[in-house]
Structure 1
Amino acid sequence: MKRSILSAAIVAAVSPAVADEAPGTSPDSATLEPVQVTATRLSQTVDEALASVTVIDREEIERLQPRQFTDLVEGRAGVSVSSAGPFGKQSSVRLRGTESDHHLMLIDGVRMGSATTGGASWQFLPPEEIDRVEIVRGPRTSIYGSDAIGGVTQVFSRAGREGPPRVNAFLGAGSFSTWEAGIGVAGGTGRTDYSLSVSMFDTEGIDVQDDVGDDDPDGYDNTSLAGKVAHRLDNGIELFGNVLYSEGESEFDSTEGDDYTDFVHAAIRAGFRMPVTSRWDTEISVSHSRDENDRYIDGNFSSQYDTRRDSVDWLNEIALTDRLLLTAGLDAREDRIDVDDPDFLGGEEYEETSRYNVAAYALIQADLGNHLLEGSLRHDDNEHFGDETTGQVAWGLQATDALRLRASYGTAFKAPTFNDLYHPDVGFFRGNPDLVPEESETFELGARYSASLAYVDVAVFETRVDDLITGFPMPENVDEARIRGLELEGGHDLGPWNSRVSLTLLDAEDRDTGNELARRAPVSARFDLDRQFGDFSVGGTILARSRSYDRGDNETRLSGYGTMNLRAAYALDPEWTVEGSLTNVFDRDYETQAGYNNPGRAAFVKLRYQQQR
C-alpha cells in the first residue's frame, strides 16, 4: 500500500515537494498523477483515491493567469460558481449541486467559514499565494465533520524546500485600473524549510449593479501575507507552522455614497509530529481562523459580523499490517461570533455567541491486491444539537494497469448556523433553536483511466438531502432535495500540448415543489488548451453554462452563456517571464446571480521573476 508517513494536513503544512513530484515518477506522470491529501487525510496519488478528485498545481495556476480564485475552479467537474459581481464580491462555490455552505473550505488544514451565514469567503483567496488546490467531490463529513455534504476544497499556500533562498516577485496591471504586485522568498536547509511572501491586488472594478446605488465602479483591494516553516529535530520530531492572512476593502452598491466592506480573512496553524513506533506516527496541532466583515454605508459604520474559530487536532496514522492502515484522531473546536448590526437588529443580541464541537473519527484502508477497501466513521458531539454519527464505505478495483473502478456510499450533515439558531427576532426574521442538522446520503460509481500522458475520470452520483433549512420569518427543517449528476474530466500532456476538459450534467430538484434548485445549471463545461513554442506559450479557456434559475420558485431565469479567455507568456530568460491575457474575448453580457454584472472584455499583463538555484 503506497502511503507517505502522515496525513493530509501534515503534508499540506510543510511538504510541497511531495505534491510537485512524487518519488519515483517522471515529470510527465507527476503532472498527470499528482499527490493529494484531502480525500482521506493521507498522502496518495489521485489515481489511488477512491473519490472524485481534481488537483490544480502551481504550474497550472501560473499558466491560467487568474485574477481571482473563482477563475481557477469555475466550470471544473462538479463545480459551479455564482457571484454578486467580480473582484472581492460575495461568491458561492457549489459542489455537485449542493449549497455553497455544504462545501467545506480548508486552508493548509485550517477550517474556514462564517459561523453566522455558514458560507466560506472564496472571494478573498489570493491566487498568487496559492501553491495548489485540491477539490474532493462527494461527502467527507465522516472525516472532517459538518459542512462537507457536497465535498471539500483545500487550498495550500506556498512552501519552501531544501536549497538556498530563492526570491520570486511579480508586477502586473490591466483593465479597470487593476494593478498587482508581490515578492517572496523560499528555501531550506537539511533541518528547516521556510517561505514568506506578501502580495497586493487593487482594482477600481466595475459597476456591479446598474440600478442600485451610484454608477461608479465598485473597487476591491487585498493585501495578503503567507508564511510556512518546518524544523526537524534529531529525535524525529518535526515542528511546523503556517499562516495565510488577507485584509482589504470591497465596495458595493447600496446608496449614492461610499458603501464598502472591510474584511479580514486568516488561517493560522502550528504543531508537531513525531514517530511513536516504526508503525505509528502522531501529530498534534492547534489552529485559529478568522472571517471578519465590517460593513459601511455612505462611509458610516453599519454592521459587524465576525467569526473566530479555535481548533485542536490529534491525528494518528498506524500501519496495522503491511496491507492494513488505520487513521484515527480527535478534534475539538469552538466557534465565536461578534455581531453588531444596530440598524437591523434594533439593539437586540444573539441568544448565543459561542459553541463547541468535539469529535472522534477513524478511517481504515485495506489493500487486497487488485481490490482496495475503505471505511470511515465519525462521531460529533455539538454543544447545541447533541450527537451526530456519519460514515462512508468505498471499494476500488484495479481492473487493468491503467483502469481503476470505484464505488462508494456516504452520509453527511450540515449543522445549523448561528443565524439559523440564534438570530434575534427582528419582526420579519428570527432564529429557531429547535432546528436539527441537514442530513444527506450519497451513492457514487466512478472510473479513472490513466496512461503515461493522459487521463479520463468519469463519475455518476445521486445525493439526497433531508431536513433542508429554509423559510421566513423563521427557518424550519422542511425541504428535501435530490441531486443526480454525471461528471467527466480528462486531460493530456503530450509534447508541447497541454489540455484539460470538464463536463457536468446535473439534475437538482426540490422534492417538495418539483422545481430546480436555484443557480444550478443542468449543463456546464470547461476546456483549457495550451501550446508551448520554445520560450513562448499560448493558450485559451472556453467556459459554457446552460440556463438556470436565480431562485427556488423558478420565476427568474438566468440565461446560458459561453465565454473565451486567451493568454500568452514569453520567457525572456530563465528567470524573467512576461505574461498577458485577454478575458471575455467576445465581450459577452452574462449574470450568475440576477442583477449583478460581470466584466466585459479585459486585458492584463504581468512581469514575473523567479530566481534560479
Structure 2
Amino acid sequence: MSHERTHATRRALTLLLAFLAGGTPALAAQGSLLVKVMDNYGVIPDATVRVVAEGSDVTHRAQTDGAGVARFDALSEGRYDLRASFTGFAEAEIRGVVVAAGEVLQLEIVLSLAALSTSVTVRTPNRREQLLLDVAEPTSVFDEAEVADTGARSAKDLLSEQNGSGIQVNAGGGQGHISINGISNAGVLLLLNGRRYLGKDANGNLNLEDIQLAGVERIEVVKGAASALYGSDALGGVVNFITHNPDERGAENTLLLSAGSYEDFRVNDTFSWRGSRGGFTATGGWRTYDGFDLQPEDPQKVGQPKSKWWNGSATADLQFSPRIVGRLFADYENREIDPYFFAGATQMGGVYNSIRDLTRHTIAPELEFLLASNATVRLQYNYGKYLRDETQVFVDSGDVSVQPPWREWNQELKLIGRLSWKAGGHEHPLQGGYEFRKEKLERGSLGADAKPERDINVLWLQQELDLGRFTLTGGVRYDDYSDFGSEWSPKVGATFAITPDHRLRASFGQGFRPPYFGQLYLFTPPFFVGNPDLVPEKSDSYSGGYSYASRKVQVSADYYYNKIKDGIVFDLTGFPFTFGNLDRYNSEGVNLSAAVSLPAGFTPSFAYTYNKRVRPAEGGEPEEDIGGYPRSSAFVKLLWQNPRLGLRANVRAQINGEVPPGVVDTSYQPGYQVWYAQVRKTFAMSGGYTFDIFAQVDNIFDKRDIYRRQTCPAGNAPPECVEGQPLTEELLQVWIAPRAFRVGITFGMDRTR
C-alpha cells in the first residue's frame, strides 16, 4: 500500500508541474481592462459596461462600482469594442481597444445626457437608422428617460407638453388631437412601430388619449411633409411610437405600478428575451381612471371621461437562415368609456350618457431577405381593424339607444428593397418599393355610401448621397387612388457639416391628401353633413435650420413655411356645419430649442415656437387669420440629476399664447400655462435588479377650464354680444385636470449579457 501511495503522489506532482508549466503561457496571453464611467461632473456607479471582442458575438458585461469602475479580468489579447450605458444618458462606445498580454489597461468613458448627445440615432425620417444630426428634416426625439420624466400615461400626456417644438395638442372635450407646424391632425400620420394607427374621427382627428405608453421606449416626431416616404396622411409630419426591442442576449423585465388622483391606477409589464437566432418582447398594460368635470347637470364640461384601458403587444424576430429573417408585430388595445355625458343644440334628445367600447387590432408579419452584405429585400403585410360600439342612455327618460357599429379596416402589402452602394469612399443608401393599401369604413352615420372603400397603389424611391461634409437626399412617391386619381410627391433634403458639432439643414417636400370618408359622407342632419364635392388638399413645405450639439450644449433653430392649396377644414360659420376646401392658406414660423448641462447636475432646457396661419392676400382680398393654434408657445424644463445618489428631479411648464379668431371660428382662446414637477429615486441591487420610485404633481397652480372667448363684429355687433365673454356652453374647450398627485414604483430586472 505504501508503494502505491508513493506512486500516486509522484503522479499528482507530475501532473501539477505539467499544468503549471503549460498554463503559464496561457495566463500571460491574457490581460485586464478597467473602465471608468463618468458624466461631465463625476463618476457614475451602477452603469452597465459591455466588452465585445472584434469578430465575435461573445459579450462580457459588468456594472461599475461606487468609484464608477467596471473591471474585466482574464481577457484574451486582441481588439475589443466597449459600450457603456446608464438610464437618462446616451450610450457611449469606444471601438478597437487593444488589450495586450499581461496588461492592465485603464480607460474612461464620458456619458452625455441623451438630450445633449451627438450619438442619438433615429429611424423614422428616412426609414432607416441614422444619426439625428445627419437628418435634413427637423426631428424631435423623446427617449425612455424623457418619457419617464413626465410620468406620462398616454400619448396625450406626453405630447401636450411639447408645444414649443412645433407640436400642438388640442386637449378639449376629452380629446387630444395633435398638429405639427400648423398642419392639423388630419395631415399628421401616427405610427406604432412603423405601422399605421387607426381610429380617426370624421374630421381626421385621432384621440391621443387612446394611446397608452406601455412598452413604448421612444417617440420620434418628424416635422415637415413626409408624403414622399409615408403617403398622404403625412402632409405635415409623422409621429412614430417605438416599443422596446433589446439587442443584447438574455432576459429583461420592467414592472410599473402607479396610482394618482381621480382613482388613476396603472399596471404595465414588459418582458424581453433574446437568444442567438432571435428574440421577442411582450407587453401588457391596464389602467383605470375616474376622469374629472363629469356632471350630468353640466354635460358640456367634459374634462376626461371615466375609462378603462387594456392593451397588449408583442414583437418577435427569428433568423431562419443566414440570409432570411422573419419578424412579427401584434397589438391589441381596448378602451371602455362610461360615463361620457353630452347635451346642447346638436343633441336634440336631452342629456345622454355615451357609453363607448373602442378596440384596435394590428398584426404585421414580415420577411427580410439578405441578398448581400449591402442589399436586402423586405416583404411586409399589415392588417389593422378599429371597432367602436356606442350605446346612448338618456338621463331623464332612461331610454337606451344602441348606435350602429363603426368599423374601420386597413390592409397593406409592402415590398421594399434597399441597396447601399459605394463611391468616393462613402456609402450611398438607395431604397424604394411598391405598396398596396385598401381602406374600408362601415359607419351608420354615413350617407348614401354607407360602406366606402378605396384602393391605393404606390411606388416610391429615395436616394441618399454622402459627399463627405455634404449629404443630399432626393425622393419621389407616386400614389394612385381608386377614387381620387394619382399624384406625384417629391422631396429633397440636404445637410452640411460645418464642423463635427455644427450642422446646417434644409428640406423641401410636396404633400397630397384626399378627404377622409367621414369628411365626404357624414350624414347626421340637421347639424352635421359631409361634403362629397371635396377635392384633395396639396402642400408645398420648406424648412431650413441649424443645429449644434456637444456634451454640454445643444441648440437648434428651424424656419418652416407650408403653403396649402384647397385645405380641408370644418366650417362652423354656416349651417349645417360641414367640410369645405379653403382655397389657400399658409402656415409659417420658427422652432427654437436649447439645453445646457451646468455644474451640480442641473440641465435647463427651453423650446419655443412661433406660428402664423393666414389666408394670404390675393386679387384684392386682404390677408385673413386662419386661427386654430397659438401664435406663440413654449416648453421649459429644469432637470437635476445626480447618478451617484440615484436621484433625478425636474420642473416643467407648457406655455401657450392666445389663439386668434379665424375664418372658420370667430371666437378666440386666451393664453395659459400649466406647471408640473417630479422627483425620482433609483436603487440598484445586485444581480441586475433595480427598484425605482417617483412622486409627481401635475398642474401645480391648479389652472382650470380655459374657455374660448366671444368676439363681436366691429360696427354691427348684436346687442347681446359681449366682447371677451367666456363661451361656457361650448364643448371643445381646453379642460385641464385640476391639481393632481401621482406616485409610482418600477421594478427592473436585467439579465442580459
Do they superpose with TM above 0.5? yes
Number of the residue aligned with 1:355: 454
Number of the residue aligned with 1:254: 342
Q: How far apart, CA to CA, are the structure 1 residues paired with 2:560 and 2:207?
A: 27
Match of residue 279, structure 1, among 374, 389, 396: 374
Matched, 1:336 2:447: no
Query: Is the CA contact 1:162–1:190 (under 8 Å) kept in the aligned structure 2?
Result: no
- Pick which of 418-427 and 141-150 moved more: 418-427
What's the CA shift for 1:159? 2.2
What does the per-residue CA deviation read over 1:262-287, in whole Å, with 9 as the maximum and x for residues that have no partner?
Answer: 11134322101121123311111111
Mark the CA change 1:141 to 1:202 in structure 2 (over 3 Å): closer, same or farther: same
Q: How far apart, CA to CA, are the structure 2 residues paired with 1:217 and 1:428?
A: 24
Query: Is the CA contact 2:170–2:734 (under 8 Å) kept in the aligned structure 1?
Result: no
Number of the residue aligned with 1:467: 566
Matched, 1:488 2:574: no
What does the per-residue CA deviation read over 1:166-185, in whole Å, with 9 as the maximum and x for residues that have no partner?
Answer: 22212111101111112231
Query: Is the CA contact 1:317–1:327 (under 8 Å) kept in the aligned structure 2?
Result: yes
What's the CA shift for 1:76? 4.2
Matched, 1:504 2:592: no
Query: Match for 1:510: what amino acid?
Result: R
What's the CA shift for 1:353? 2.0
Consecutive unaligned residues in structure 2, runs of 5 or more:
1-86, 96-109, 344-350, 394-399, 709-731
Query: Is the CA contact 1:115–1:418 (under 8 Å) kept in the aligned structure 2?
Result: no
Match of residue 437, structure 1, among 536, 540, 543: 536
Larger Cα-atom Rg: 2
What's the CA shift for 1:492? 4.1
- Pick which of 261-270 and 128-137 moved more: 261-270
Number of the residue aligned with 2:725: none
Matched, 1:267 2:353: no
Matched, 1:151 2:252: no
What's the CA shift for 1:112? 2.0
What is the correspondence of 1:309-458 to structure 2 with a 5 Å cutoff?
309-321=410-422, 322-341=426-445, 349-350=448-449, 352-424=451-523, 426=525, 430-458=529-557
Q: Secondary structure at the match of 1:165?
A: strand
Query: Is the CA contact 2:612–2:631 (under 8 Å) kept in the aligned structure 1?
Result: yes
- Pick which of 380-389 and 65-74 moved more: 65-74
What's the CA shift for 1:257? 4.8
- Pick which of 598-607 and 278-287 moved more: 278-287
What does the per-residue CA deviation read over 1:275-327, in whole Å, with 9 as the maximum and x for residues that have no partner?
Answer: 11233111111112233322221164234332110111111111232443211
What's the CA shift for 1:516? 2.9
Matched, 1:528 2:637: yes
Q: How far apart, CA to CA, are the structure 1 residues paired with 2:707 and 2:360?
A: 24
Query: Is the CA contact 1:162–1:193 (under 8 Å) kept in the aligned structure 2?
Result: no
Matched, 1:543 2:543: no
Query: Is the CA contact 1:82–1:519 (under 8 Å) kept in the aligned structure 2?
Result: no
Matched, 1:81 2:185: no
Number of the residue aligned with 1:41: 127
Q: Secondary structure at the match of 2:134?
A: coil
Q: How far apart, CA to CA, are the structure 2 residues paired with 1:23 and 1:340?
A: 57
What's the CA shift for 1:129? 2.4
What's the CA shift for 1:29? 7.1
Q: How far apart, CA to CA, are the structure 1 residues paired with 2:303 and 2:128?
A: 49
Query: Is the CA contact 2:164–2:591 (under 8 Å) kept in the aligned structure 1?
Result: no
Match of residue 692, structure 2, among 577, 580, 585: 577
Query: Match for 1:329: what amino acid?
Result: G
Consecutive unaligned residues in structure 1, runs of 5 or more:
1-16
What's the CA shift for 1:548? 0.6
Q: How many pairs were matched up?
A: 588
Query: Match for 1:383: what amino acid?
Result: S
Matched, 1:51 2:137: yes
Number of the residue aligned with 1:288: 383
Q: How far apart, CA to CA, are the structure 2 residues paired with 1:550 and 1:541?
A: 29
Mark the CA change 1:213 to 1:430 in structure 2 (over 3 Å): closer, same or farther: closer
Query: Is the CA contact 2:215–2:269 (under 8 Å) kept in the aligned structure 1?
Result: no
What's the CA shift for 1:468? 1.5
Query: Match for 2:340: what amino acid?
Result: F
Query: Match for 1:334: what amino acid?
Result: K
Q: How far apart, CA to CA, are the structure 2 residues paired with 1:179 and 1:441?
A: 45
Q: Secondary structure at the match of 2:290?
A: strand
Query: Is the CA contact 1:174–1:604 (under 8 Å) kept in the aligned structure 2?
Result: yes
Q: How far apart, CA to CA, are the structure 2 residues paired with 1:235 and 1:480?
A: 53
Matched, 1:138 2:224: yes
What's the CA shift for 1:124? 0.9
RMSD over aligned Cα, in angstroms? Answer: 2.6
Match of residue 741, structure 2, among 595, 598, 603: 603
What's the CA shift for 1:432? 4.0
Matched, 1:28 2:112: yes
Number of the residue aligned with 1:8: none
Normalised by the length of structure 1, the TM-score is: 0.90
What is the correspondence of 1:140-219 to structure 2 with a 5 Å cutoff?
140-207=226-293, 211-212=298-299, 218-219=305-306
Q: How far apart, CA to CA, are the structure 2 residues paired with 1:327 and 1:41?
A: 9
Number of the residue aligned with 1:305: 406
Query: Match for 1:501: what amino acid?
Result: F
Matched, 1:98 2:183: yes
What's the CA shift for 1:454? 2.7
Normalised by the length of structure 2, the TM-score is: 0.74
Q: Which has the higher contact order (CA 8 A, sep 6+)?
A: 1
What does the per-residue CA deviation read over 1:359-418, in whole Å, with 9 as the maximum and x for residues that have no partner?
Answer: 000111111122111111000011100111110111221112211111222110111111
Kindly, what percent of the aligned residue pairs are identical?
20
Match of residue 240, structure 1, among 303, 327, 336: 327
Query: Is the CA contact 1:350–1:423 (under 8 Å) kept in the aligned structure 2?
Result: no
